[in-house]
Structure 1
């Protein structure tokens, strides 16, 4: 119920595994939404920095993954009648979702909630959209959700 406090206590006591597990529950809400008083639960700048890196890394990687995903990868499943419309819609939706991404955003769910209806009139486009969303979901699920799973050198955004 209080992952920030758990994270803080675990960090202070050197319980790295517990702190890492708690970090998973600190992806939402954004760190900036906590009050100064609440943030005092984090005992050191290093402990805070790890959380900030996790949020920044996830946000950047989710955005990268989203922007690299195509609705018709390598032309696979491309509909001859509606392909351009579907590609344009996919691109537009990606940009809308991109601007909303935070560390806990489910980009695939956002693409589904935004995109199911516009391509429903074409079976090929609908199938391609759903496949692209499924691939996006798979790729985003592989992005680390815990501080102990971050690459040792997290490059700056």
Structure 2
């Protein structure tokens, strides 16, 4: 857009310098001076437009750089939070597994105490194995492996 404005200014100055001597009857030296003035003014205007464009480009680059920095910082924060949340979750899983193992050990110890207290009446059954105690299926279908 600025280029078009600069081009229109150059065109305006050039046409004014070409038509003006014909309209007013100015001598050649004055026409040449006016053309030089118009050319210098057009160059100054174009230079100012280019410098303004450069300043705008530099501001855009700075703004983009800051936006990229902020996005990287936000991404780093999100990833760091996700990492530490994962660590906490894995520690919770380990703690839950340890609690489950302790509970299962407690159940096993309680059943062992129960089996130990009733071992005498179940001695003939123990010869056949514990799977027969539960209708032939045993714990988790262990007796099914026998056939």
TM-score by length of 2: 0.28
The structure with the greater share of residues assigned to helix is 2
- Find the structure with the greater CA-based Rg: 2
TM-score by length of 1: 0.26
Greater relative contact order, per chain length (Cα 8 Å cut-off, separation 6+): 1
